[in-house]
Amino acid sequence: MSIDDPEREKILWKSLDINPIFDKSYLNLAETYRHRKNFEKAVEIATKGVTLPHVMLQLWTQMMNILGDIWFQQGQHDLVDNVCKHVLQRDPVNVQALMNRANVRWSRNDVSAAERDYLEVLRLDPTHSGAHNNLGVVYQQQNRFQESLDMYRKGEKLPGSTSDPAFWNSYGALLCKLQRFEDAISVYQKALAIDPVHKEAAYGLSW
């Protein structure tokens, strides 16, 4: 069943009526509500799920990371820090927790710490498109243009990047700084092909 299927949601709730401590149903419901952008409900469900007795570690970390993702979007960085701390204590190589911590550090201008975390993500998962993109921007902000360009060149070969307009927009911004305007136009057009109303890419293309 699709994550959008109302019948799936009913089945998950029914499973909790039968077994109120079935951790997999809490995870699936939290993912469902996050997908629907009902973040309040997703947080409520995930919070209950992570406090279940004898919850499996893998499911616990997934629900904790859902909380981290949502709270980062809401700008609640102290809560995200706390989530990452607890997840990484139990699972030191958890890629999503490392990404969330890196994003918080970057948003706080702790660039060196963010860079270390992004590099660790890529060591664990060399195909992580988000880490390639964010590290490319980090290098760009430090005027480390060749390192940034290398990161985007690697990233553009990954499926996750090719479907992400933010990746192409950041790449286009770098190419503009390098005065490679024809290449920048092509890259911005890729962003707009994915998201025709992407404001930053449209603005970059207007130059």
pLDDT greater at residue 157 or residue 84: 84
Q: Report the pLDDT value the prediction gives residue 181, as an integer from 0 to 100.
A: 93
Give the pair of three-digit tokens for residue 70: 């949502």
- Supply the DSSP string of 84-148, one letter for each residue: HHHHHHH-TT-HHHHHHHHHHHHHTT-HHHHHHHHHHHHHH-TT-HHHHHHHHHHHHHTT-HHHH
pTM: 0.86
Pair 152, 178: CB distance under 8 Å = no
What gap in Å lies between CA 75 and CA 80, rounded to an integer?
Answer: 9
pLDDT 10s digits, 103-150 = 999 999 999 999 999 999 999 999 998 999 999 999 999 999 999 999
Q: Among candidates 117, 94, 138, which has minimal Cα distance to 83?
A: 94
Q: Report the pLDDT value the prediction gives residue 65, as an integer from 0 to 100.
A: 97
- Residues above pLDDT 90, as percent of the chain: 73
Q: Of 11-20, 125-134, 176-185, which range is least confident? A: 11-20
